[in-house]
Amino acid sequence: PFLASLLTHPTFIEGTCWTTFIDDTPELFALIGSQNRAQKLLSYLGDIAVNGSQIKGQIGDPKFKGEIVVPSLEDSHGNAIDATEPCQKGWRNIIVKEGPEAFAKAVRAHKGCLIMDTTWRDAHQSLLATRVRTVDMLNVAKETSHALSNAWALECWGGATFDVAMRFLYEDPWDRLKKMRKLVPNIPFQMLLRGANGVAYSSLPDNAIYHFCEQAKKHGVDIFRVFDALNDVDQLEVGVKAVLKAGGVAEGTMCYSGDMLNPKKKYNFDYYMDLAEKIVKMGAHVIGIKDMAGVLKPKAATMLVGSLRKKYPDMPIHVHTHDSAGTGVASMVACAHAGADAVDAATASMSGMTSQPSLSAVLASLEGSEFDAGLDGHMIRQLDSYWAQLRLLYSPFEAGLTGPDPEVYEHEIPGGQLTNLIFQASQQGLGEQWAQTKKAYEDANDLLGDIVKVTPTSKVVGDLAQFMVSNKLSKKDVEEKADQLDFPSSVLEFFEGLMGQPYGGFPEPLRSKALRGRRKMDKRPGLYLEPYNFDKARKELKEKWGGVTETDLASYVMYPKVFDDYKKWTSKYGDLSVVPTRYFLARPEIGEEFHVELEKGKVLILKLLAVGPLSEQKGQREVFYEMNGEVRQVTVDDLH
Ligand code: 3PY
Ligand code: ZN
């Protein structure tokens, strides 16, 4: 068609000068662009037709095969809600017009307990290996802007989503953020920032964190939940200061570990109160409590939130939990009663167990009380009907959890990691080994000095636990043979001090024995690291990939190799974020018609016609698709 358009174009026929022809007829070159994109897309679809999905972590095909239905909303009084345009009403208006301090003040003045919906970030990170794709959030974004207009925020970015988007889904996390922002202008967007680690797994130079926060704020993040995996205040402060500089709402967060009411445990009430004081002094706008493993029981929640409420009457308090043991609703209700301004929950179909407690359940538990969350339960349920379908669509990433885990109080594995470890154990058919892994996790934690466990330190404990199980090492063996063992790299990085300083210090002599002369940082790593050389990286990227945007650069700083792989992939297959998930994850039936909207108004109508026989010599197959009525053919290497 391009050649046909070219040959029949009047300017071409008239034979006017070629160079101005390029400038004057952009429509033809846009056509080459989309032809190119269509061809790349076809290679992906051809590949999946022959080889099936190559997405890491995927087991089998989606259970949901129908058309995903986006609900038509109506409120609890039976009034239809017009969601053709996004809702404009919401808490974000205060942040945008009046700034973070005004937001904090307005929240404090508000009666009731607000809810942050984590469905777009932590819920799928904790249940579906972080695999939910941009398109599936965008498809329900306008409806969400209406149904959740009074929410504290949507947690929709950061944490593992940044890495996974590029590494496994071949999507640009910044593109996700920008597109979501357009469709949800009214609800604050919250992200999870791992303090001086940014969204990576160990510390980066301070200027890298500042650059990242500036970009995140600019492209749509309003509230930053900043934590440090060891509650190292120096590390935490880097993140909080970077958010303040970028103009975002800084939620300075303490990670809740252990059981502060148990006198035998390391992290007690005074520890948390002392930490809160430091967070407030840093200039945070909000105090965050992050119960990443779901071990904050109602009584402790009441005491901690109640005491913070009394001591800091002007500071909003926002609590996060996981429902691993099944106490999530009870704990969040206790927090609301004790004076929390916001608690976290996820839509019912994406809630429970390693995810957050159910939004509908928290809502119902607070309904009609002075802590009412101010959301319409009817609309929330309608929105959930969408996520019920999505949950089945992403069935290939389920970890196979069947019930809550009452042992979480012992092993303290964070929600997201728990799913991950169960998945790995079940993959290897290791029912027995799973019990051993949990026990080894406890032992590894003891060996490391009972550290706070959340990304990236939870990975350190998990890696050490798996190392112990696979090498059949007891706690005593590790202590005795530490100077000969080949520890996982995350463990060595932790011992070096690359993740900050643990409360109470590093375990000795284990640290020195394991490091065997490697460097030891006894202050925050940012003080040792050279500032990131942005000019050099810009140049490198330009040479490698042509153009470079500031957000590309920010991705590259966090994950250089992952970014390069992502770019290679998109050069080969194009931007696949527009492909509906069912066809991204599995081949279509022969003759089944489906649509891909490459860009607004540019829709491809596709049908798989046939997969040809294997050519023995080359190990390839021809795949035939119908694309907008024309038969197209691609040759695909058969990997079987
Ligand atoms: C992350 O850092 O990704 C987390 O979700 C920690 O809980
Ligand atoms: Zn979490």
Q: Residues 402-457: pLDDT tens digits?
A: 899 999 999 999 999 999 998 887 776 656 778 889 999 999 999 999 999 999 99
**Those residues with Cβ within 8 angstroms of residue 68's Cβ, 6 or more apart along the chain or in another chain:** 136, 139, 386, 389, 390, 393
The verdict on the CB of residue 164 being under 6 Å from ligand 1 is no
State which ligand 1 atom lies nearest to the alpha carbon of 458.
6
More confident residue, 143 or 15: 143
Res. 502: pLDDT tops 70: yes
The verdict on the CB of residue 456 being under 6 Å from ligand 1 is no
Q: How confident is the model at residue 599 (pLDDT cuts 50, 70, 90)?
A: confident
The verdict on the CB of residue 292 being under 6 Å from ligand 1 is yes
Res. 8: pLDDT tops 80: no
- Residue whose CA lies nearest to ligand 1 atom number 1: 159
Res. 149: pLDDT tops 70: yes
Which of 125, 193, 319, 417 is the best mutation target for the ligand 1 pocket, counting ligand atoms within 8 Å of the beta carbon and taking the most? 125
Task: Name the H helices within 10-133.
Answer: 10-14, 18-24, 26-51, 92-98, 100-109, 124-127
Can you tell me the mean pLDDT for 324-344?
A: 98
The verdict on the CB of residue 416 being under 6 Å from ligand 1 is yes
The verdict on the CB of residue 41 being under 6 Å from ligand 1 is no
ipTM reported for the complex, 2 dp: 0.97
Q: Would you say 151 and 195 are in contact if contact means Cβ atoms under 8 Å apart?
A: no
Res. 16: pLDDT tops 50: no
Can you tell me the mean pLDDT for 273-277?
A: 98
> From CA 482, how far away is CA 476, in angstroms rounded?
10
Residue 640: per-residue pLDDT: 87
Q: How confident is the model at residue 24 (pLDDT cuts 50, 70, 90)?
A: low
The verdict on the CB of residue 420 being under 6 Å from ligand 1 is no
Q: Which of 230-234, 400-404, 532-536, 607-611 has the lowest mean pLDDT?
A: 400-404
Look-up of token digits 């080459």: 32
Residue 81: per-residue pLDDT: 97
Ligand 1 centroid to residue 6 C-alpha, Å: 52
Residue 433: per-residue pLDDT: 79
The verdict on the CB of residue 158 being under 6 Å from ligand 1 is no
Ligand positioned closest to the Cα atom of 227: 1
The verdict on the CB of residue 380 being under 6 Å from ligand 1 is no
Ligand 1 centroid to residue 60 C-alpha, Å: 27
Res. 26: pLDDT tops 80: no
Kind plus residue range of the DSSP H or E element containing 378: helix 377-393
Instruction: Tell me how far CA of residue 327 lies from CA of 120, 267, 409, 514, in angstroms.
Output: 22, 20, 11, 38
Q: Give Dmax over CA atoms of the chain in angstroms.
A: 89
572: region left, alpha or beta (phi > 0 left; psi from -120 to 50 alpha): alpha
Res. 125: pLDDT tops 60: yes
Ligand 1 centroid to residue 564 C-alpha, Å: 24
State which ligand 1 atom lies nearest to the alpha carbon of 125.
5
Look-up of token digits 């009412």: 372
State which ligand 1 atom lies nearest to the alpha carbon of 194.
2
Closest CA to 145 of 179, 91, 187, 117: 187
The verdict on the CB of residue 226 being under 6 Å from ligand 1 is no
The verdict on the CB of residue 160 being under 6 Å from ligand 1 is yes
Instruction: Give the pLDDT confidence of 133-148 residue by residue, as tens digits.
Output: 999 999 999 999 999 9
Ligand 2 centroid to residue 292 C-alpha, Å: 5
